[in-house]
Structure 1
Amino acid sequence: MSYKPKTLFRLIDDINSSIFLPHIQRLFVWEEEQMLRLFDSLMRNYPIQTLLFWRTTDEIKARRFMSQVEWDADLSDYYEPSVSKAGHDKVFVLDGQQRLQTLYAIFAGALTLESGARAEAYYDVTSGETSTDTGLLHSLKFSPTTLPLPWYRIADLMGKDAQKVAEELSDDLNDELDKIDAATVSESRPADEEQRARRKRVRKNFGQLVRLLREETHFWVQELDGVANKFPYRTVLDIFVRVNSGGTKLDASDLMFAAMKEGWDEIEEAIEETTELLNSTNLSFDKTFPLKCLLVVHGRGAEASPEKFAGADGAKLLQDMKAGWDRAEQAFQELRDFLKSDLKVYADKVVRSYNSFIPLFDYIYFNPKPNERSKALMRGYYYKSQLFGWYSQSTDSVINGLHGVVGKACGLGFPMNEVKQYFNSRGMAAELQKGHLDQTRLRFILLNLVYVDQMGSSPFDVKFKGNEPHIDHIYPRHALLTKLGLGSGEVNTIGNYRFVGATDNIRKRAELPDSYFGRLKAAGSPIEKHLLLKSFSDDTGRLVFDVPTYRRFRDERAQRVWEICYRTVNPENGKFPA
């Protein structure tokens, strides 16, 4: 095993030419905030841990890094058949995918905005003096358009500015900023002392950027050389599971099945059939999910590891699993029916954590065939878990904690109040408040909830892949901003959002609502699916394009959405508050 420094320039240059991802790596899961935090850490010269690579010529399915990050990408689009073949020398990333993909997007790629636009990374080279509200010193943002100074396009460091040294880069940019300062009116022109401080920060920031990219002091790689030495796939898989056990949970099922088959040779087939059953809802469960469910209900905790199936205790666990399989199989069937018929969850877009389903299985296992009241509370639990990020950290410990609440016979039905107390004790929200409806990242979940409640089906239950719904403005966003002069806070609101199929979204025009919905209605299209209030759907002429009408429409519709969401997410509270 070798341990050596690498320049970031070399790492990025090798990505998708010699460095790839193995099929056991799952999709990129970091959110934009985590990407910004990694960049801030590097600019502060904080260590970011060693990267772990594996060099091999084995036949292992290889996947490219994304040159443009898509959080809901189809992994099959990124596989490289020629690289995957036996005999092809390649290097796989075992630990460091999230960091490397982030750096690749910042320094040489981009990410995809919710609108679908390509956005590149820009850095405010004058930042670094004071922290933001989120604790970041260095300001980075992804933008679909070129940003003015002092924002610098980071990809230029590997492009047009690749031959420039830090001093030249900082001098050029400082000169441009000096010109801007000189052109400002005297009362707003920075003082000489402020200008000197700014020039110093720019020099310091460019110095760090160039060092990060070109010096062998920031990135260290441990490489398992499976060509020169013996690092077979099973050994590497074991290492892979262990090094990732503290981060995003990955599918360790392949290794665990190898440890389990001596005790129950049919378990892999049973788990595969269960996974296929759960995925009939168009979700993307992996084989680790049912294994974790089984571990939990048998009192072994949610942490999935091969060690749990070793020795006498492992043999006893397998014996218990095999003896109780009929009961577990029935619980998995009931969970699948609940997902499909009650939650109507059909897309990863509205699922922030698959682990949230494990306590539901745990409850059903010990309380089969829940009544309608319990199902309503289970729906409330599910939406709370997604909206409030109950499984955003310490996932396995959360599941283990809830096992003591739901993993037993509950004579009074699903124990929502005890579940809420558990999360309140962890300092997390447990009841939907009206302010939650304004959080951008919750739009898909909240709208899907409303559509399911009002239409009895999910808009994500589509026949054709690629026609999943987009979020659209009922009153056109651009017209509200430019013609009525409203601010984005009044325009980008749940009261003005709807779902529209991707194909229709591409075809539609920026038509005013009275004309658009009047035309659809005249053509016999059921405009109720757009969740217009009855008074407006009965008479589309009421959708006048002026500020008072828009605000009345938006506020009345937002209130109706709030009532539906409150009733669904907080069923334990009974009636909607007056």
Structure 2
Amino acid sequence: MRLPWTGQVSYKPSSLFRLIEELNRSIFLPHIQRPFVWEEDQMLRLFDSLMRNYPIQTFIFWRTKDEIKARKFMERVEWDADLSDFYDPGKSKKDVEKVFVLDGQQRLQTLYALFCGPITSADNRRAEAYFDITSGIVPDDRGLLHRVQFFGGAAPVSLVPHRRRAKPRWTTKFRGSSRPHQFLHGQSESHDPLDKREAPPQAKEREKRVRRNSGQLLSLLREEKHFWIQELDGVANEYPYDRILDIFVRVNSGGTNLDASDLMFAAMKEAWSDVEEVIEQTTEMLNGTNLQFDKTFPLKCLLVAHGRGAEASPEKFTGPDGHGLMSAINTNWARAEQAFQELRDFLKNDLKIYADKVIRSYNSFIPLFDFLYHNPKPNEPTRTLLKAYHYKAQLFGWYSQGTDTVVNALHTIVGKPNPGGFPMTEIKDYFKKRGSATELTRAHMNETRLRFILLNQVYVDQMGASPLDVNFKGNDPHVDHIYPQSMLRSKLGFLSADINHLGNLRFMGATDNIRKRSELPAEYFARMKAGGMDITKHLLLPEYARDPAKLAFDNASYKEFRDLRFERMWDILSSTTNPEVT
């Protein structure tokens, strides 16, 4: 039973010195927190805001003695750190008092890096923050008034100019110290930030800026007025974990720091601490052919397969129902993992998908997972229907609207053992009722928006490989006109509908397309054939591949070739998209 809200929350100020002193001593991160994700620019903006005396959001802490995994803040910021390296087993134990940060990880880790610890630079070096203590006049091109930069070792000599030049003087943390109260004890390279040789007005103004900046830094470090903490005291009051989790989710869902999957992981980790790592590995596996799945996709797959609906929300993983769901997911993970692997193999080996250019909706793959979860290791006839489902879904926009509604409806059809194979008839009946097309027609083949997907489908069927699986970045295939469009228009007088006809289109590598220009097809394909290229896979008609001279440049020859090739493409596309009909 959920305890009533008591409203007993302490609200108190703190100095920055005290906050940083307590990090990794009494203040830790709970395991539900995601990694540190702020970019360097965000870190510098926080510092600039504090130097301008702008207010920043309140931190929310939770004091507890519960057995919760406690994670340390990074003493040196690593951008791709393994979070398991930072867990403190001693502080994680039951009856050991600790304070967890529910809201404020990014800001606190930034403050630690700026005032106490380094970051890891792009070249994998230790880099510390240096502050131009004379800054504060004009904002830079990013709108920052107070300049901070991270350097490996001491600030470069070029940034510590000769005293006679009115340029930045850089100060850093006191060398050899791990505590922030010595932050201002000295300037890099022993240079005095106040240039006594400058003209009196400039020197006086410069001195005022240095004193103002120094005073603000000391105020931030020493005075208890810049940082405010709301502390939920779970030692003196009742703050059970499920209530804290609810608070965490609500606090973070109001901003842009966490996406849907992050919030769901926060809710899921109570029942399965390793779930985020497992899902990340699954997402990486699915993206093995250059696709763009995000972590929400496998979570939605699991929700659907376990009958909880496609609507993804953290609330589904909390409370008794959520615990039951997580227990089922954990218990049946081997089965789910196999289904994810079969889905990935299907994408790679059957559909040959190597780019999201040929995918109009990633959500169309959820019913495929749902079917494989309940019907593992499908036979060849079933795989043929699975491919047809995919092509129909992409070509006819089955998931262009009401995605979750569609996925939930299809779960009632595919989310169970289907000994008769993939239930294509029932799926088509459902989409017919929604007013969607369910079978490919010749009219679909001349829809401009579909030609990339259709061409890829033809090449996959004929070549057994995807033209999008390229070895060199930037050589992705272009849609090319076999008979050059400019010459068809200018010399033979054809209009766009006849020129941009699917029967006249093929794929061609970007590099080759640039070189080809407006060469006539008979000469071009004769040259390719002489060079040992199999031109049949492009022309699709063996008689033309045997004798490219048949590609004569006149009205009758063009129309005959185009229409014959279009019919050959229709044979290929209808057999792969409509196998249940043909």
> Aligning the two structures, in what range does the TM-score lie when normalised by the shorter sequence?
0.5 to 0.7
Counterpart pick for 1:239 among 251, 254, 258: 254
User: 2:411, 2:298 → 1: CA distance?
Assistant: 15
Note the 1:479-494 alignment, pairs <5 A: 479-494=487-502
Q: Is 1:82 matched with 2:41?
A: yes
* 1:524 counterpart residue number: 532
The answer to whether the Cα contact below 8 Å between 2:249 and 2:314 also exists between their aligned partners in 1 is no
Counterpart pick for 2:440 among 432, 446, 465: 432
SS at the partner of 1:87?
helix
* 1:452 counterpart residue number: 460
The answer to whether the Cα contact below 8 Å between 1:274 and 1:332 also exists between their aligned partners in 2 is yes
The range that moved more, 321-330 or 456-465, is 456-465
User: 1:303, 1:392 → 2: CA distance?
Assistant: 16
User: 2:36, 2:442 → 1: CA distance?
Assistant: 53
Q: What TM-score results when the alignment is normalised by the length of structure 1?
A: 0.59
The answer to whether the Cα contact below 8 Å between 2:483 and 2:520 also exists between their aligned partners in 1 is yes
Counterpart pick for 1:323 among 318, 322, 331: 331
| CA drift at 1:59 | 8.1
* 2:562 counterpart residue number: 554
One-letter amino acid of the structure 2 residue matched with residue 489 of structure 1: A
User: 2:350, 2:522 → 1: CA distance?
Assistant: 34
User: 2:514, 2:507 → 1: CA distance?
Assistant: 13
SS at the partner of 1:572?
coil
Counterpart pick for 2:369 among 347, 353, 361: 361
Distance 1:270 1:540, change over 3 A: same
The answer to whether the Cα contact below 8 Å between 1:251 and 1:288 also exists between their aligned partners in 2 is no
User: 1:513, 1:281 → 2: CA distance?
Assistant: 33
Q: Is 1:342 matched with 2:354?
A: no
| CA drift at 1:86 | 5.3
Q: Is 1:255 matched with 2:214?
A: no
| CA drift at 1:229 | 9.5
Distance 1:233 1:309, change over 3 A: closer
* 2:503 counterpart residue number: 495
SS at the partner of 2:507?
strand
| CA drift at 1:553 | 0.5
User: 1:511, 1:461 → 2: CA distance?
Assistant: 26
One-letter amino acid of the structure 2 residue matched with residue 292 of structure 1: K
Q: What TM-score results when the alignment is normalised by the length of structure 2?
A: 0.58
Counterpart pick for 2:485 among 477, 495, 498: 477
Return 5+ residue gaps in structure 2 as ranges: 1-34, 50-225, 231-246
One-letter amino acid of the structure 1 residue matched with residue 41 of structure 2: S
Q: Is 1:308 matched with 2:322?
A: no
User: 1:86, 1:373 → 2: CA distance?
Assistant: 59
* 1:536 counterpart residue number: 544
Note the 1:66-145 alignment, pairs <5 A: 82=41, 85=44, 87=46
User: 1:85, 1:275 → 2: CA distance?
Assistant: 32
Distance 1:551 1:233, change over 3 A: farther
SS at the partner of 1:369?
coil
SS at the partner of 1:520?
helix
SS at the partner of 1:498?
strand
Q: Is 1:284 matched with 2:299?
A: no
The answer to whether the Cα contact below 8 Å between 1:59 and 1:85 also exists between their aligned partners in 2 is no
User: 2:441, 2:328 → 1: CA distance?
Assistant: 43
- Larger-gyration structure (1/2): 2
| CA drift at 1:82 | 3.4
The count of corresponding residues between Structure 1 and Structure 2 is 356
| CA drift at 1:89 | 6.7
| CA drift at 1:83 | 5.2
User: 2:491, 2:38 → 1: CA distance?
Assistant: 53
Identity %: 60
Per-residue CA deviation, residues 132-182 of structure 1 (Å, 9 max, x unaligned), is xxxxxxxxxxxxxxxxxxxxxxxxxxxxxxxxxxxxxxxxxxxxxxxxxxx
Per-residue CA deviation, residues 357-410 of structure 1 (Å, 9 max, x unaligned), is 000000010000001111000000000000000000010110000000000000
The range that moved more, 338-347 or 525-534, is 525-534
* 2:126 counterpart residue number: none
| CA drift at 1:239 | 2.4
SS at the partner of 1:470?
strand
Per-residue CA deviation, residues 518-557 of structure 1 (Å, 9 max, x unaligned), is 1111122222332341111100111100010000000000
Distance 1:359 1:240, change over 3 A: farther
User: 1:273, 1:514 → 2: CA distance?
Assistant: 50
The answer to whether the Cα contact below 8 Å between 1:251 and 1:286 also exists between their aligned partners in 2 is no
Return 5+ residue gaps in structure 1 as ranges: 1-57, 63-80, 91-226, 243-249
One-letter amino acid of the structure 2 residue matched with residue 359 of structure 1: P
Q: Is 1:566 matched with 2:569?
A: no
The answer to whether the Cα contact below 8 Å between 1:328 and 1:365 also exists between their aligned partners in 2 is yes
User: 2:564, 2:227 → 1: CA distance?
Assistant: 69
Q: Is 1:384 matched with 2:392?
A: yes
User: 1:451, 1:293 → 2: CA distance?
Assistant: 30
SS at the partner of 1:285?
coil
* 1:144 counterpart residue number: none
The answer to whether the Cα contact below 8 Å between 1:60 and 1:84 also exists between their aligned partners in 2 is no
SS at the partner of 2:46?
coil
Distance 1:89 1:314, change over 3 A: farther
One-letter amino acid of the structure 2 residue matched with residue 87 of structure 1: L
User: 1:300, 1:485 → 2: CA distance?
Assistant: 59
Per-residue CA deviation, residues 186-207 of structure 1 (Å, 9 max, x unaligned), is xxxxxxxxxxxxxxxxxxxxxx
The answer to whether the Cα contact below 8 Å between 1:455 and 1:529 also exists between their aligned partners in 2 is yes
Aligned-CA RMSD value? 2.4
User: 1:324, 1:313 → 2: CA distance?
Assistant: 16
The answer to whether the Cα contact below 8 Å between 1:60 and 1:86 also exists between their aligned partners in 2 is no
SS at the partner of 1:529?
helix
One-letter amino acid of the structure 1 residue matched with residue 487 of structure 2: A
